[in-house]
Chain A
Amino acid sequence: MTAFIIRRLLQAVLVMLVVALIAFLMFRFVGDPINQMVGIETTPEQREALRVRLGLRDPILVQLARFIWNAAQFNFGTSYQFKQPVSEMILQRMPATLELSMVSAIFALIVGIPMGVYTGIRREAWLSKLFLTVSLVGISLPPFLIGILLIFIFAVNLQILPSFGRGQVVDLGFWSTGLLTVSGLKALILPAITLGLFQLTLIMRLVRSEMLEVLRTDYIKFARARGLTERAVNFGHALKNTMIPVITVTGLQLGSIIAFAIITETVFQWPGMGLLFLQSVQNVDIPIMAAYLMLIAFLFVVINLIVDILYTVVDPRVRLDGGAAV
């Protein structure tokens, strides 16, 4: 088990190095950073001096090594536009994005799994058919449209929920949370639904198809023949067997939720990393883009590692130290 985790960690480092290379290349190919920083009236001599001072005249490999070294210490330089350290700006906005992502992921799981189980067990019930039809909406409508629709209904027409922002936040030192105030919670509802709806329908359909698959297996028939209660058969035996693909997809989707919170954050003007990233794209603020790229890659790598470890918790056959057959 330990060897397995160490091997996975080494692979993770490799992935991060490759991503760092790509992020670094952005600096080289997306325009001249000096042009972004200085005004028109700067003389060529001053530009050259700045270039040397920033280390842009050093050999590329030296620059790359410096970039990786800095990135490993969570130092991504200074934003061209805001003239602030990038890592500080990202840390400021990270709680907003992570809270939004976690809440929508939990929402998607808590609603999606039971709906999937229900539609899998009661295939013919009208409620199942309703769920499936509605889930088509969740899959086919783009999130920004859903967000705007929700704003239209709940913020504009009914005026019961705010249409933008995070509401009142409580600062806990390095983490500012909106989960502790009523206005913060209210502000979270619409963006969380918008962001989680696609994942919810995905999880529901996945659980449903896995349930249908598992309920056909011999061990479920045998569990029934042993006289186990419907509850034990459906939840103890069937649901647990659907969990491997659900964990995989949920893990990957969690990464996507964080990465693609961009759109939802823009629609709801949510002060998170996604909104920051979108602004940085508009301003060709490469340090922020590079940092964001590295951060998202890091999240995916960590989530994948957790998913792999969870497999072994759920399925004994994946456990690498398991005994051999008699």
Chain B
Amino acid sequence: MSDPLLQVRDLVVEFPTRRGTLTAVDKVSFDIAPGEVLGVVGESGAGKSLTGTAIINLLEPPGRIGGGEVILQGERIDNLPQEEMRKIRGKRIGMVFQDPLTSLNPLYTIGEQLTETIQTHMKLTDAAARIRAIELLSEVGIPAPESRIDAYPHQFSGGMRQRVVIALALAANPVLVLADEPTTALDVSVQAQIIALLKKTCAEHGAAVMLITHDMGVIAETADRVAVMYAGRIVEIGPVREVIKNAKHPYTDGLMASIPSLTHEAERLAQIEGSMPRLTAIPDGCAFHPRCPQAFDRCRRERPELLDADTTQAACWLYAKEEAVT
């Protein structure tokens, strides 16, 4: 396998508060290969978005990176000075936000916002940047881009605006696109289109995608691999097919069981008892153990690392090698 495009090693995101430091993302590690689509799923507050925001180093104070490394194409980027990091944003890592209605500045035409981004990262004349902007718009499926380029964001619908946002994220040919819930704010009818568009255009540009969502359906259709997050930790990571069909971690298992199915009719959806712990009260050992049907003594004492579990990796003591248990 080729060298990973992005390596995240033991990433910690923390929020200093008066009552002590809260750890929202706790030693998260994963790789993204060039051109790969990595899905990141989890409940609200599991730390998915914060992981993405930390990679691009745009955490809102007082949030901060409390430890670990982020390595892009062999170069460590989590400790770069702001100005160096700025040159990476947009240029090598593009980002798509959740709500296209608020992602675009209402006072500038989409053409102005596109050419501004293009010219920040590429040495192009005004005319050349405009041509590139029109190409990008036509690539993301905006009809009549030559005339629409001079329209303002409020003259577009939500789905069209998210297309513009994707064009903006891809403006400087990044190697990685972080898509943070790109379809959550959209109508169900256009969600599938946008996801298909995101996957297609990123593939054409050769960009890897980190797709953050809580929609398993989106992940199943789009991602190559998937990371499941719970209480700021990755509990399972592996090829999307394996994780969905053959989940190893009890949490992933419960998550998959709770997805309504068209083929099986059920009176009630399966659910996991209890709810995700608050940041102030994350239990010792495995964060999931109070809700885990298979928890045993060790789960309460020691926190499991990601362990090889057949086809995926799961942070669960069930998969500890026999000799390690002693």
Whether the Cβ atoms of B156 and A225 lie closer than 8 Å is no
Q: Is B168 an interface residue when CB atoms closer than 8 A count as contact?
A: yes
CB–CB A317/B171 < 8 A: no
Chain A positions 301 through 324: 1 when the CB is less than 8 Å from some CB of chain B, otherwise 0:
000000000000011110000111
Q: Which of B169-187 touch A at CB < 8 Å?
A: 169, 171-172
Stretch with Cβ within 8 A of B (4 or more), from A86-94, A97-105, A178-186, A215-223: A215-223
- Does A325 reach chain B (CB closer than 8 Å)? yes
Whether a CB of chain A sits under 8 angstroms from the CB of B58 is yes
Which residues of chain B come closer than 8 Å to A317, judged between CB atoms?
A: 106, 152, 154
CB neighbours of B165 from chain A (8 A) = 222
A224 within 8 A of B: yes
Contact of A223 with B105 in the complex, beta carbons under 8 Å: yes
In the complex, chain A residues whose CB is within 8 Å of the CB of B169 = 226
How far is it, in angstroms, between the C-alpha of A17 and the C-alpha of B89 when the chains are bound?
A: 59
Q: B271 near A: Cβ within 8 Å?
A: no
Contacting pair B152 A227 (CB below 8 A): no
Nearest-neighbour CB distance to chain A for B56, whole angstroms, equals: 6
B172 contact set on A, CB distance < 8 A:
227
Residue from the list A226, A316, A323, A325 in contact with B89, Cβ < 8 A: A226
The minimal Cβ–Cβ distance linking B272 to chain A, given in whole angstroms, is: 32
> Cβ of B87 and Cβ of A322 under 8 Å apart?
no
Contact with B along A228-257 (1 / 0, CB 8 A): 111010001100110000000000000000
Which of A226, A317, A323 is the most central at the interface, judged by chain B CB atoms within 10 Å of its CB? A226
Q: B36-44, B95-103, B232-240: which one contacts chain A?
A: B95-103
Does A160 belong to the interface (CB within 8 Å)?
no
Q: Is the CB of A315 within 8 A of B157?
A: no
Selected from A218, A226, A315, the residue in CB contact (under 8 A) with B117 is A226
Contact A229 B86, CB 8 Å, known A322-B155, A325-B154: yes
| Known contacts A218-B103, A225-B97, A326-B157; A232/B116 CB under 8 A | yes
Interface centre among B94, B104, B105, B172 (most CB of A within 10 A): B105
Q: Which residue of A lies closest to B172 (CB)?
A: A227
CB contacts (< 8 Å) of B106 on chain A: these are 219, 241, 315-317
- Name the distance in Å between B16's Cβ and chain A's nearest Cβ: 15
Say which residue of B82, B89, B107, B148 sits within 8 Å of A314 (CB atoms). Answer: B107
Contact residues, B136-181 vs A (CB, 8 A): 148, 151-152, 154-157, 160, 165, 168-169, 171-172
Q: Are B156 and A325 in contact (CB under 8 A)?
A: yes
Q: Is A225 within 8 A of B86, CB to CB?
A: no
Whether A227 pairs with B102 at a CB distance below 8 angstroms is no
Q: How many A-B residue pairs have CB under 8 A?
A: 92
A230 to B81, CA, bound (A): 13
Q: How far is the CA of A317 from the CA of B109 in the complex (A)?
A: 11
Greatest chain B CB density within 10 A among A219, A225, A317, A322 is at A225
List chain A residues, Cβ under 8 A from B86.
224, 227-230
CB of B120 within 8 Å of the partner chain: yes
**Is the beta-carbon distance between A241 and B107 smaller than 8 angstroms?**
yes
A219 in contact with B154 (CB, 8 Å) = no
Contact A219 B104 (CB under 8 A): yes
What residues of chain B lie closer than 8 Å to A221, measured between beta carbons?
58, 97
Cβ of B249 to closest chain A Cβ, rounded Å: 31
Binding site for B on A (CB under 8 A): 217-219, 221-230, 232, 236-237, 240-241, 314-317, 322-326
6 closest A-B pairs by beta carbon, nearest first, are: A227-B90, A227-B89, A225-B95, A218-B102, A226-B90, A316-B152
Given A225-B97, A316-B152; 20 other pairs, CB 8 A cutoff: A217-B102, A219-B102, A219-B104, A222-B103, A222-B168, A223-B105, A224-B89, A225-B58, A225-B89, A225-B94, A226-B89, A227-B86, A227-B91, A228-B116, A229-B120, A230-B82, A237-B108, A241-B105, A316-B106, A316-B109
A-B contact pairs, 30 of them (CB 8 A): A217-B102, A219-B102, A221-B58, A222-B95, A222-B97, A222-B104, A225-B95, A226-B95, A226-B117, A226-B120, A226-B169, A227-B86, A227-B87, A227-B91, A228-B86, A228-B120, A230-B82, A232-B116, A237-B105, A241-B105, A241-B107, A316-B109, A316-B154, A317-B106, A322-B152, A322-B155, A323-B151, A324-B155, A325-B155, A325-B156
Q: Which residues in B have some Cβ–Cβ distance to A below 8 Å?
A: 56, 58, 82, 86-91, 94-95, 97, 99, 102-109, 116-117, 120-121, 148, 151-152, 154-157, 160, 165, 168-169, 171-172
